[in-house]
Chains A and B, each alone.
Chain A
Amino acid sequence: MTAEYLLRRIGVFFLVIWGAATFNFVLPRIADVNPIEERMSQLASRGAVSSGNTEAMIKNFEKRFGLDQPLYEQYLRYLWNFARFDFGFSIAYFPTQVRSVIAQALPWTLVLVTISSLIYMVLGMALGALVAWPGASRLFKVLFPPIMALSSIPYYLVGIALVHFFAFQLEWFPLGGGYTVGTSPGWDTEFYLDATKHAILPALSIILVSIGFSAIGMRGMMVTTQGEDYMLLAEAKGARSWRLFAWYGVRNAMLPQITSFALALGHVVSGVILVEVVFGYPGIGSMLLQAIRNFDYTLLYGIVYLVILSIALATLILDLIYPRLDPRITYAPRS
């Protein structure tokens, strides 16, 4: 990996998050929306706000964002705040910081995304490899088309159907939520079991849909791998069939899947956000829905910025470790 590539890649990363932050700054100003006034009029129309509280909030916000200062100064201050993950106060949960509201929800989403991604990658790659392998059972070839058809449907639509059949009718799983209401999140086995039970259906709706996506890429790579010379040589040397499959085939076909995973990450996260909405899962997605319904602009901008940042960061990390995993890839300039 050359220093030039490294610098350019990190540059792109900062460009993306700078773009995301700037977008959040510019858009409300073009649209001429004042989030705080907007919110106040919303609350006032419901008669939900006492006047003393309102004035304190508006004053606090104006001071906080220096709304009386020139635009470039506001912008610089804004960027500086975002760089430190300081998104100000949540409008709906005043006086809680947006940062701490998000910190509550983030672990739920991170765990859900990570675990279901790992499971769907493993299952999808196994299925894709077996479909392309001539010696494998015909069962996989039969299984492949329905799973591919399923992959065209959005996660959360599958989630709705899963809720109906497995939670409402069969009552095997709880109806939504992240843990049983009334128990408080703690670090004991009982809570873990409870949380796992709540996470199975959301995870399943992500996994069922994504297997096909991961399998099709793997199948393509497996077919290519089978034509390679080292395959022929290994076969001629009398390597056993499973060794050919796992060591020569899967191992080489697996690594390029990392790239497609990195490209799909944004799509996966958008899907997970909507899955959370379906299940009322206490992660970023449900928080986003709350922010939209409450016109909580600061929380909303904070969530959007953080999601974009996390995905950009994950893509950056995957890009940087990829050549270490797969020695066939170099970022050295072709001479």
Chain B
Amino acid sequence: MTTAQPDTQGTMPLDTTLERQEGSALARAVLTPFRWMRAYPTLWAGLILLTFMILFGVVGSRFVDPELARAGTVDIDLDPWQTVEYRVKGEERSAFSVLGTDSQGRDVWAVTLLGTPLTIYVGFLAALIGMSIGTVLGFIGGFYGGIIDNIFKSFADMLITVPVLMILVVVAVTLKSSIDVTQQALIIAAFVWMWPLRTIRSQVLTMRERAYVSVAQISGANTLEVIFLEMLPNLLPFLAASLATAVATAMLTTIGMDALGLGPQNQPTLGNTIYWALFYSAPFRGIWWWWAPPVLALALVFGSLYLITAGLDPLANPRLRRQV
């Protein structure tokens, strides 16, 4: 936090911990992350949980046979915790089924491992694209103002009140030709740029009037320099918080589409797993090992994103630091 301004009003214990200079350079380098963790425990808890969920899927899926996540591979409705025998192209295989199988012959453990990174991938891709659109439009609007700004803002305001899932249902049903996960992310990206636009625009509006921006402009910096060197660094906490929110929104939308049967077909995403679990009434039949793993995985990912957003709040809104 080298950019932090010294606070003359309430002293902030957070920043004094971070900026205390003592010990050798090596000790500081080693200790700094830990100090950060102590200063922002919520943020770190979120980041660690999210990393864990990504690794859980990415690393874990190396240890399972992808064939197990395909419908019809194993016997249906098997209880958890047993060894299963199955056949792929005439070749006998066996695997240990941690969570049993579903009513279509998929291994739930394999589906959860393969599905978690897929769903996170859709969320991140859609959010990154949506964020980029929102940030660029927010900068243009906030910086130049005038009629362009008005158009962007009105359009965003209008789109925010519309239930995006409804629009996506129409898009997905009409395009019917089955989409893959990347295409789904692209479609969702078209509808997650509004909140970032509003956040960035309002920040740019206040920043435009600040002294350091005027100084930079008077010293002959061009617009791009002002944006990238003066404004963007100050926006990083906002961008990070917006990104976490956008990922959550995008993931919410993707599993919503999946749960209505409009997701990428034949892909073991967590949303699709929930769709099939509902299709076969798993919750009503007490087959907890079918619906609980995807629900739990999603709850943990959403929880980690919530922790990240909440943890970034004191950085994005310094006023909150003095509350409570």
**A interface vs B, CB < 8 Å?**
12, 15-16, 19-20, 23-24, 27-28, 31, 33, 38, 132, 148-149, 151-154, 156-157, 160-161, 163-164, 167-169, 175-176, 223, 262-263, 265-267, 269-270, 273-274, 277-278, 288-289, 292-293, 295, 297, 300-301, 304, 307-308, 311-312, 315
Contact = CB atoms under 8 A, between A and B. Distances in A.
Q: What is the interface of chain B mostly: helix, strand, loop, or mixed?
A: helix
B119 to A, nearest CB: 12
Contacts of B170: 23-24, 27, 300-301, 304
Contacts of B176: 33, 38
A168 B248 CA distance: 30
Contact of B166 (A12, A262, A307): A307
A267 to B, nearest CB: 7
A27 B174 contact: yes
B295 A315 contact: no
B303 A278 contact: no
Contacts, number: 126
Contact of A266 (B164, B302, B306): B164
Given A15-B158, A16-B158, A152 B303 contact: yes
Interface string B44-87: 00000000000000000000000000000000000000000000
B171 interface: yes
Given A277-B259, A278-B278, A311 B163 contact: yes
Contacts of A148: 306, 310
B29 interface: no
Interface stretch (B2-10, B130-138, B220-228, B282-290): B282-290
Q: What is the interface of chain A mostly: helix, strand, loop, or mixed?
A: helix
A153 B298 contact: yes
Contacts of B277: 160
B201 to A, nearest CB: 16
Contact of A164 (B171, B261, B283): B283
A45 to B, nearest CB: 14
B192 interface: no
A1 to B, nearest CB: 18
B262 interface: yes
Contacts of A149: 303, 306
A312 B163 CA distance: 10
Nearest to A270: B165
Nearest to B171: A27
B283 A304 contact: no
Contacts of B303: 149, 152-153
B169 interface: yes
A77 B310 CA distance: 50
A154 B255 contact: yes
Contacts of B88: none
14 contacts: A38-B176, A148-B306, A149-B303, A153-B298, A160-B274, A164-B283, A164-B291, A168-B286, A277-B260, A288-B260, A292-B173, A293-B261, A295-B173, A297-B173
